[in-house]
Structure 1
């Protein structure tokens, strides 16, 4: 598995939850993972039921086998201060710029600068080593911006390297892109089995490939169970209305005669079955589209009871199972 796992997806597909589950899945057997948030939403803290994340690595969960999950909310202003200190040794002068509002001004008027700082901080975590020369984290998982802007977000350092032909900014941008365009990185896209998310996933994969960024997996989230077999799905068309009525009567739900309880239940039951059958057909169509993208796919189930820590650990276990089957 690549050391930097970038998780993107259309809004509403549950990409933050998937990123958290992936971090737990990769932190098995004593490994350490770092979850990185770059959008300032504190979504990871909400998923884990924790306090707001600070601008520093914080242990947020323990995975199976004693693995550890850390989390970091990257703040563009703080990252810029780190950058100024690292390359220009500004020290107190950098803090003075923050007090004057210059740091906020710079990151607000230059969205590209924010992306450079955010991706740079994440890549620094990927390369970070301890005193013994070992990587501090086995994997870094980034809860990244949505599919619609993920390619530009990740590719911004290429643009910066082209604008700044030399110096520390050019060197930093090149170092970041060396990580992002290498086998060390995989960009995963989260989708639902619905037309708009699947189409956006297809467009996102095409853009990532055109930019030379490494596509990882498509992760289909919130997959609903199929309650009806093929025969039942055909019956849901309503053509076998009388058969359904008689079956309800045999099950002890009243008379199948006109006006009986079994007869009155037929229409609402067939309506629900028909809706389910339409959903199954839609999902089949979208799976066919995803299969044509030539990208490995994982599937995670819809949690009927809602998302909590137990559900998150369950999704992590499902991801570990599917990774092991490859």
Structure 2
């Protein structure tokens, strides 16, 4: 089990819908940007999750700074759009210029980005590939330092991540030769290198954990490097193990609880006391379930990091709190 990702510059974050994937991707970007680093945080699903998380105006297709860190680091946001990426691609490889605008006017761009989903994914990841190769001087080769120290990609959910990252096989039947075929091959080389890791966000619930385990297996079969499992929205037990045992068995001492409530100024009624005991039993069962799910995740052999549930919602301050938790646990060095 390794947590040494010093060679990784591209961190792909996936997870079942509702697990807080975008929030975790943002927190990882902030953590990576500590110590003065420049990080690109990109999304490909058009949901404007980055702008909502950092409370900034909606992102366009241009790279835009969304936050700075206390150590002088910078997070740049990008919402990759398939149509814009295709227009840029056509200009880069075919110098279409105004002809590309004409294709868009007649709906050819929409057709190309919807009828051929494999090509669409190549275009989306291709934009990330280009950003990763770009140097500070704007060129893609030379001695100039990289434009970004790290890139975090808020990727599609676990149900689609394997296919999304299998760009080479996806376009094999559509483009056996030519620039698209060549670019797909270059992207595959990047994705399968030790410079790329895929992190999976989950909750300690049965369905997200099942999807996580399946995604780990699928990604490994495809030759991709799975990095960490990040358990989000973790709630600590309210009772110690002895009290949990009693609550689970329905053996909590009613007179003692009644006395403590009365001393706290609470008017105790039989219904209130029975309701609290039921809540305690349900809490014990939930803790049992979460521990079972954590044990299943541990069987993958991957490093696991836990982020706390934040009851007041997510804003830039909470994102930094989660970033600090990732640093403290050693995910980011």
CA distance in 1, matches of 2:187, 2:248: 56
Q: 1:261 aligns with which of 268, 274, 277?
A: 268
1:62 aligns with 2:68: yes
CA distance in 2, matches of 1:311, 1:18: 11
**Cα-to-partner distance string for 1:87-108 (whole Å, 9 max, x where unaligned):** 1111111111112221112112
Q: Gaps spanning 5+ residues in structure 1: where?
A: 255-259
1:48 aligns with 2:58: no
Counterpart of 1:94 in structure 2 is 100
Counterparts of residues 66-77 of structure 1 (less than 5 Å): 66-77=72-83
Normalising by structure 1, what TM-score?
0.93
Counterpart of 2:325 in structure 1 is 318
Q: 2:248 aligns with which of 226, 234, 237?
A: 237
Contact 1:245 1:266 in 2 (8 A): no
Q: 1:276 aligns with which of 269, 275, 283?
A: 283
Counterpart of 1:29 in structure 2 is 35
1:306 aligns with 2:325: no
Counterpart of 1:151 in structure 2 is 162
| SS of residue in 2 equivalent to 1:189 | strand
| SS of residue in 1 equivalent to 2:58 | coil
**Cα-to-partner distance string for 1:128-159 (whole Å, 9 max, x where unaligned):** 11225210001111110000010100112333
**Cα-to-partner distance string for 1:26-71 (whole Å, 9 max, x where unaligned):** 0011100001110011111111111110101000001130100000
Counterpart of 2:115 in structure 1 is 109
Contact 1:161 1:169 in 2 (8 A): no
1:246 aligns with 2:256: yes
Contact 1:238 1:270 in 2 (8 A): no
Contact 2:39 2:151 in 1 (8 A): yes
Contact 1:16 1:43 in 2 (8 A): yes
CA distance in 2, matches of 1:36, 1:272: 42
Counterpart of 2:125 in structure 1 is 119
| SS of residue in 2 equivalent to 1:169 | helix
CA distance in 2, matches of 1:244, 1:305: 33
Contact 1:60 1:70 in 2 (8 A): yes
Counterpart of 2:140 in structure 1 is none
Normalising by structure 2, what TM-score?
0.91
Counterpart of 1:257 in structure 2 is none
Contact 1:237 1:270 in 2 (8 A): no
**Cα-to-partner distance string for 1:141-190 (whole Å, 9 max, x where unaligned):** 11100000101001123332565333222211111111111011001110
Contact 1:37 1:143 in 2 (8 A): yes
Aligned length: 320
Q: 1:250 to 1:226 in 2, by over 3 A?
A: closer
CA distance in 2, matches of 1:315, 1:174: 36
Provide the aligned C-alpha RMSD in A.
1.8
**Cα-to-partner distance string for 1:66-122 (whole Å, 9 max, x where unaligned):** 100000001101100111111111111111111222111211211111111001111
| SS of residue in 2 equivalent to 1:164 | coil
| SS of residue in 2 equivalent to 1:221 | strand
